[in-house]
Amino acid sequence: MTTALFPLFADLRERAVLVVGGGAVAARKIERLLAAGARVRVLAPELHPTLQKLAAAKQIAHRNAPFTPALLDGAWLAIAATDDAASNRAVAQAARERHVLVNVVDDAELSSFHLPAVVERGAVQVAISSGGGAPMLARRLRERLEIALDESLGTLAELLARQRALIRERIPDISRRRRWFDRLLDRIAPDLRLRGRVEDAERDLLDALDGLPANATRGSVALVGAGPGDPGLLTLRALRLLNEADVIVHDRLVGAGVLALARRDAQLLDVGKRVGDAANAQDRIHAILLEHVQAGRRVVRLKGGDPFVFGRGGEELQFLHAHGIPFEVVPGITAALACAAYAGVPLTHREHAQSLRLVTAHAKGSQDTLDWRALAAEQQTLAVYMGVAGLEPLRTRLLAHGRAADTPFALIENGARPEQRVVLGTLADLPERARAEAVRSPALLILGEVAALAADLHWFGALPLLAPVPEPLSDVA
């Protein structure tokens, strides 16, 4: 294992740097040194055209002389960029003896500092090091960051630097200031990014500072869909909110992988409720949300799948609305979509299904209120949530209303998770198949012509489980 390098950003303004070598590589490094305000002396028999111009403009000092250790006197850094290994080594050794940090081009061993790959946005710099061992990798990372980091970042940094003293004076408390910053950036960053409006952004900043007493202690709630459990299926907005939350109030269905993305010091509250005391539990959840938001915290109410699909998200928002609490909603990938995708069941298909219904067959009562005639129609897909316990009556009713006994189903347990199981069959033997395979919650039933496609289109996890082919009768010996 190589020891990691110590990252540092050096202030080289008016500081002497000796560069030995005057070719193209030296020229690139010298340009960077000049940009940082260094006083550069170059030792070389000949200069690259770029360096000739710089020398003519007196931006660098050039000498055509052999290297001697005394030339390092007064230098803070040295760069050896000749194409002669022996000269480079001589510079490195002399520099070491004088405690001058030295970079030898393409020689990590001889170097006591490296020049990282850098992404620059004004004064904002992201420097990447592979410890000197894999510069190609660092370069690749740099390319990615070039794409990811918006051009306006530099302007934003300047603006914040300009107002830094004022902001600190107005909001001395650090954690409050951090929250204020997050909100501010959400507000002004798009303005800068999309329209480059520096004055608007600055006025927004000053307004936000003035509005401080009202905003600073005001908590908020974001109702966020966590998707089916795989963190890769979160939205970017959900991720951002998890990173900012003070308190995360989550259900049992939310996976550990998702919770692991929460801010380190966020408080995690599991309010997963057992069936039975649901009404009570819901009141308790309301009380918890209210308590934290009124204490000025940023609360993320995190729900499995999508919060508005059988998630009681609506009730929670009505409660918050009645108490005048501001909120936002972030959709998530609901179980029907996740299970369908990961089981290889297209929910609609030009030949097999023109509509999709999301239903729940949870409580006994809820089955009575459903429009079974409509649900039994052909060429449509039913995605049945919370249905494991009610498969028997479901079959009875669908058959009674005319759905064909050979309508295919896919029953997906732990959809989109590593332990996913997919049970295939037809409506005729649905409850028996579920029992035989011991399907447990959480499981989603997809019923309709499209379900048969899973036999060909499955691609994730274990193979789908098909009904066993009856054994041919064998003669008893």
Distances (CA, A) of 216 to 29, 172, 249, 348, 352: 46, 12, 22, 48, 55
Instruction: Confirm or reject binding of residue 303 to ligand SAH (CB under 6 A).
Output: yes
Query: Binding string to ligand SAH for residues 66 to 85, with x set by CB under 6 A, is what?
Result: --------------------
Q: CA torsion sign, 49 to 55 to 58 to 60? A: positive
Write out the binding residues for ligand SAH, residues 158-177 only, by CB under 6 A. Answer: none
Name the CA dihedral angle for 375, 378, 383, 385, rounded to a multiple of 10 degrees. Answer: 30
Quote the DSSP letter at residue 37.
T
Whose Cβ is closer to ligand SAH: residue 228's or residue 344's?
228
Whose Cβ is closer to ligand SAH: residue 131's or residue 393's?
393
The H-or-E segment that residue 342 falls in is: helix 335-343
Give me the helix-helix angle, 174-190 and 198-210, nearest 10°.
Answer: 150
Pick from 441, 457, 459, 462: which binds ligand SAH (CB under 6 A)? Answer: 441
Pick from 157, 253, 404, 455: which binds ligand SAH (CB under 6 A)? Answer: 253
d(CA 140, CA 472): 60
Determine the interface stretch with ligand SAH among 41-49, 123-131, 343-351, 437-445 (rule: CB under 6 A).
437-445
Q: How many residues bind ligand SAH (CB under 6 A)?
A: 24
Task: Say which of 29, 251, 303, 306 is annotated catalytic.
Answer: 251
Pick from 306, 343, 344, 347: which binds ligand SAH (CB under 6 A)? Answer: 306
Task: Say which of 107, 191, 273, 429 is annotated catalytic.
Answer: 273
Instruction: Confirm or reject binding of residue 425 to ligand SAH (CB under 6 A).
Output: no
Whose Cβ is closer to ligand SAH: residue 132's or residue 442's?
442
Question: What is the C-alpha R_g of the chain?
Answer: 33
Whether 186 is catalytic: no
- The two most distant CA atoms of the chain are separated, in Å, by 106
Determine the interface stretch with ligand SAH among 130-138, 268-276, 297-305, 402-410 (rule: CB under 6 A).
297-305
Whether 303 is catalytic: no
Which residue do the tokens 């064998």 mark? 474
H runs (alpha helix) in 197-334: 198-210, 212-216, 236-244, 256-259, 278-294, 313-322
Determine the interface stretch with ligand SAH among 129-137, 185-193, 319-327, 409-417 (rule: CB under 6 A).
409-417
d(CA 165, CA 170): 9
Determine the interface stretch with ligand SAH among 77-85, 168-176, 412-420, 449-457 (rule: CB under 6 A).
412-420
Give the residue numbers marked as catalytic: 251, 273
The residues of the shown chain that bind ligand SAH, judged by CB under 6 A, are: 228-229, 253, 303-306, 309-311, 334-335, 339, 385-386, 412, 414-417, 441-444
